Amino acid sequence: MLTTSHPAEIGPRALLSLRETAMLASIPEPRVRKDIETGILLPIRAKRSERPLFRWADVFLFAAVYKSNLLPSQLRRRAFEKFELLIEPTSRREFYSLFDPEKLAMIKCDWGRPSRVFISNDRMKLDHYLFVDFERLVHDLGPRVDLYAAGLARIEEREGVLGGEPVFKGTRLSVRHIGKMYYDGETVENIVEDYPYLRENDVRFAELFFRAHPVQGRPPMSQEAGRARDTPSS
The residues facing 44 across adjacent strands are: 53
Backbone angles phi, psi at 13, to 5 degrees: -65, 155
Sketch the domain layout of the chain as residue ranges: 2-153, 156-234
CA 156 to chain CA centroid, nearest Å? 17
Instruction: Specify the pLDDT at position 217.
Output: 54
Length of the chain: 234
Cα–Cα distance for residue pair 88/91, rounded to 1 Å: 5
Cα–Cα distance for residue pair 157/65, rounded to 1 Å: 34
Cα–Cα distance for residue pair 8/220, rounded to 1 Å: 29
Instruction: Specify the pLDDT at position 139.
Output: 93
Q: Report which of 68, 67, 80 is spatially closest to residue 39, judged by C-alpha positions.
A: 80
Cα–Cα distance for residue pair 47/202, rounded to 1 Å: 32
Instruction: Specify the pLDDT at position 87.
Output: 86
Instruction: Specify the pLDDT at position 227.
Output: 47
The CATH architecture to which 156-234 belongs is Orthogonal Bundle (1.10)
pLDDT in tens, the chain (234 residues): 444 444 444 567 889 999 999 999 999 999 999 999 999 999 998 776 778 999 999 999 999 999 988 899 999 999 999 999 888 887 888 888 888 777 777 787 776 688 877 777 789 999 999 999 999 999 999 999 999 999 998 999 888 888 889 999 999 999 999 999 999 999 999 999 999 999 999 999 999 999 999 876 554 454 433 444 544 444
